[in-house]
Amino acid sequence: MATKTTTKPRTKTSTKTQRPPLWKVILLNDDYTPREFVVEVLKAVFRMNESQAYRVMLTAHQRGACVIAVFTKDVAETKAKEATEMGKSQGYPLYFTTEKEE
Ligand code: TYC
């Protein structure tokens, strides 16, 4: 009997590293929150130094919004909430939002 060669399909194991999707935290401008307060919140919640925080605040002030940084979903949401709460506790409409990075 002739030997039959069968080719067994191999299952390819892909070893791609799965990176978690990142989420942007975005600062929105408003007309009431004092500039210095925005800077203080950015320093406290996002660990920025004075000049980084000032630049982000000014960009949001001039353009309406500014991306602060990217984090995993949980961290982005927690930080946005914490920063928004800091403004709220002082009666300011300061608002931070999150958006998935594509
Ligand atoms: N526009 C505010 C003012 O003129 C300052 C401000 C900047 C508020 C950035 C929010 O995300 C903001 N007092």
From 27, 31, 37, 38, the mutation candidate for ligand 1 (largest count of ligand atoms within 8 A of CB) is 38
Question: Pairing mode, if any, of strands 23-28 and 65-71?
Answer: antiparallel
Q: What is the pLDDT of residues 57-94, one digit of tens each?
A: 999 999 999 999 999 999 999 999 999 999 999 999 99
For ligand 1, atom 10, name the residue with the nearest CA: 29
Residue ranges per structural domain of the chain: 29-100
Under the banding of pLDDT at 50, 70 and 90, the label for residue 7 is low
CA of 85 to the centre of ligand 1 (A): 16
Could you write out the three-class secondary structure of the chain? Answer: CCCCCCCCCCCCCCCCCCCCCCEEEEEECCCCCCHHHHHHHHHHHHCCCHHHHHHHHHHHHHHCEEEEEEECHHHHHHHHHHHHHHHHHCCCCCEEEEEECC
Global pTM reads 0.84
CATH topology of domain 29-100: Ribosomal Protein L30; Chain: A, (3.30.1390)
Predicted local distance difference test score (pLDDT) of residue 2: 55
Ligand 1 binding pocket (C-beta < 6 A) is 27-31, 33-35, 38, 57, 60-61, 94
